[in-house]
Every structure is written in structure tokens, then in C-alpha cells.
A = this chain, B = another copy of it.
Amino acid sequence: MRKALAGARLKDVAEAAGVSIKTVSNVVRGSARVAEPTRERVLRAIDELGYTPNASARHLRTGRSGIIALAVPELVAPYFAELATAVIAAAKERGCTVLIEDTGGDADEELRVACGLSDPLIDGVLLSPLRLDQSQLAGREHRVPLVLLGERDYEVPADHVLIDNVAAAREATAHLLSLGCRRIAAIGREQTPHATSQQRLDGYVQALKEAGIGYEERLAPPVPTYTRAAGAEVMRSLLELPEPPDAVFCFTDLLATGALRAAHERGLDIPRDLALVGFDDIEEAQFAVPSLTTIAPDKRQLARLAVEALLARIEGRVAGGAEAPHATIRAEYELVVRESTRL
């Protein structure tokens, strides 16, 4: 059944080089000393036959496949597409391949992923949780190493890589305040808030408080989802308030582009009638009309730190071993000022 086309095996190389299978294996992996002339003969044979190791067999034997899974709520959301690209690049630097899962933001699906998918092929999992809460995660069977990429509630039994969302949200809001805005709305609060929403809301409230402004729930209406459509819809409702806002802090750039769209429909001039800040710094933010001031998490750094943390767990390199306390690793961010707040 299996055709010769499928590629040479250790056995073929061994025959060609006149040595045993194991010697070839040793040459390939550098796992034991091999005399130089033998080494050369083997390498030549490998080259001639175009040998490449069979990942399945290797995985079966060693328990390592070199494949890690990245699960995001929505790959079509530009932020996650950009993050995924950064993770793929970071993994490649470390010799790993990435398998991308789209959980659709579904808690069950996230849990399934956190438990190592349905397939032990995966060496480890990077999860950007959206709805998953810590009680569920706490009960998971620790089948594979797990690193969370993004916000978290309370304690979750896994390493986390994230930026300081509260501080970033506070900075974004403070920026609007510094422009003289006093009636600042927030778009992104959720009915049943998950961590991202909660933390950004906290930062927003803190900044207001520091400026002596109280939190007014009407100015932070709940959104059903983090989509452009939701952003537009909520923006429309905000503009219909008796006292509409003079600025808006959107918890994601996607919400912000929707808000931009709605403001445009009402003929508002941004930033003069309404200043706008987003969050994520997706590529689109630079090209929106007007371009979008936003919080820019260092996605490359996030990806690198996350891959590094996961590999450390996989390879058991964590100080203190597998039962080491779960680390929280912070990446950088910065506020990028563009037209939507440039008066």
C-alpha cells in the first residue's frame, strides 16, 4: 500500500551507507558519538535519498510532535489574525509548527481545547480564552501543557502571558481626558463580563475617578459581541442620549471601527465632535478614516513570551518542575496617538 514515493526511511539510508539503522538515527539526531568517516557516509546517503524523518514515528516513540495548538476565539478578528501570525513566526523560530483552532468564543470548545483537543498529537496548547472561566479550567484534566494568552480572572492553574489591561485602559481614558473631554463613553462592557471586558472597564473607571468624574452606567452600555456591527449599534444608541458623549473609549479597534462608521452616518466630525480611542492596534487602525488612536500591545513580544513559556512547560524546563507555581508574564504596550484624537 505504502509507496516508495513517500520517502526514504532510516532503513534505506542505513543500507545505502552500509551501517545499522541506529547509527543513522544517531547521526540525524546527534544523540551519540559517531566516527567522522561513518558520519560522512551516512550524511551522503541521507542527501542522495532525500531522507526526512517521519514525524509520526518520532512522535510515537518520543511523545513529542513539535506541534503546538493555538486557539483563538475568532480568527477573522484582525487582532487574532495578527496575533496568530506572530505566534506562528515565534514558533518557527523555535522549530515548532502551529495548529490553529477557532473556538468561536464558545466555552465548551475552549475547554475542549484546554484539555488538549481530542488528540494527543499536540505537545501543548496556547489558549486565548474568551468565555472560559477559572472554575471550569480548574477541573480540567491536565493532559497537555497549557499557557493562556490574554486576560484572566482570579487564579487559573496555568501560566499567563498578557499586558496590563487595567493600566492600558486607564492610560487610554486619561488621554481623552487630557484633550479636555469630560463626557467619555465606553464601548465594550459586557452583560456578563469576562476578564478583558472587566479589566478595561476598571481602567476606564479608575481614570475617570482620578479626574474627579463619576462612572455613569448609561455611558457604558453593554455590547452583545466584539464586532464592528455591535460597535456601530452601541454608538448609535449613545448618540441618541439626551447628553451624548464627547469622547469614546472602545475596548477593541473592531468596536471602534464600527463606532466610527456610526458616527460618520450621523455626520459627526471626528475628532472635533467626538474623540475616539481604540484598543489592539490592528493594521486597519492606521488606515481607518480617520486613523485611530489606540493601545498597541506588543504582539511579537506576547507571542514570543507565550511560545517560550509553553516550550518551557513542555520540556519540563520550568524551575520547580511540572508543579511549579503558575507564572504571570507581562508584555509591553503603548498608546499610539493618531487622527481620531488629534485636535
Contacts and interface: CB of A to CB of B under 8 A. Distances in A.
Nearest to A282: B76
A25 interface: no
Interface string A1-40: 1100111000000000000000000000000000000000
A50 interface: yes
A283 to B, nearest CB: 7
Interface SS of chain A: helix, strand, loop or mixed? mixed
Contacts of A283: 76, 228
Nearest to A54: B120
Interface in A69-107: 74-76, 78, 81-82, 84-85, 88-89, 97-102
B76 A120 contact: no
B85 A121 contact: no
Interface stretch (A55-63, A124-132, A182-190): A55-63
Contacts of A326: none
A55 B261 contact: no
Contacts of A143: 5-7
A309 B190 CA distance: 42
B97 A98 contact: no
Interface stretch (A194-202, A239-247, A284-292): A284-292
Contact of A6 (B76, B101, B120): B120
Contacts of A278: none
Contacts of A7: 116, 120, 143
B287 A52 contact: no
Contact of A287 (B5, B261, B287): B261
B85 A76 contact: yes
B63 A120 contact: no
24 contacts: A1-B63, A55-B121, A56-B56, A56-B57, A56-B120, A67-B99, A74-B85, A75-B81, A75-B84, A75-B85, A75-B88, A76-B78, A76-B283, A84-B100, A88-B101, A89-B102, A99-B99, A232-B287, A257-B287, A258-B287, A261-B287, A261-B291, A264-B290, A289-B289
Query: What are the 9 tightest A-B residue pairs by CB atom distance, in nearest-first order?
Result: A56-B59, A56-B56, A55-B121, A81-B81, A228-B287, A264-B289, A56-B60, A100-B100, A261-B287
Given A55-B121, A56-B56, A88-B100, 5 more contacts: A56-B57, A76-B78, A98-B100, A228-B284, A288-B289
